Amino acid sequence: MDLMNITDAMSRLNNNKKLYVMLLKKVDANKLLDDLLDKIKSGDAAAAQASAHTIKGLAANLSLSDLKVKSEAVEQKLKGGAGTAEVDTSEIEESIARTAEAVAAWLKESENG
């Protein structure tokens, strides 16, 4: 699965590449992940579900495909009644790291091109 769907993002933003760059630069993926992990660690399933939902929405709006899928899986597991101890965060953690790398590379390439 693609980490970023630039074609979809450009379509969503009327081909406004400057806006997309600005939005991507505002995202602090590590802060979002830390927030989710803190809520899971504290055992607050409802708050963790809300945090996963926030990540999913952000990822969907920015066309960050893999992150959307991984955050949606965490959200659905919690929504389905799973306790926070039952949630494996390894996939979303990996997705955030890989997506952040892809975004950084794309931003660098965009600035040079």
pLDDT digits (tens, 9 = 90+) for 6-23: 999 999 999 999 999 999
DSSP 57-81: HHHHHTT-HHHHHHHHHHHHHHHTT
Q: What is the CATH number of the domain that holds 28?
A: 1.20.120
Compute how many other C-beta atoms are within 10 angstroms of the C-beta atom of residue 66. 21
Average pLDDT over residues 97-110: 94
Q: Which pTM was predicted?
A: 0.91
Q: What domain count does the chain have?
A: 1
Residues in the chain: 113
CA 78 to chain centre: 17
- The tokens describing 19, both together, are 């806006």
Domain that holds residue 79: 6-112
pLDDT digits (tens, 9 = 90+) for 41-59: 999 999 999 999 999 999 9
The verdict on residue 1 lying in a domain is no
The verdict on residue 88 lying in a domain is yes
- CB 5, CB 28: distance < 8 Å: no
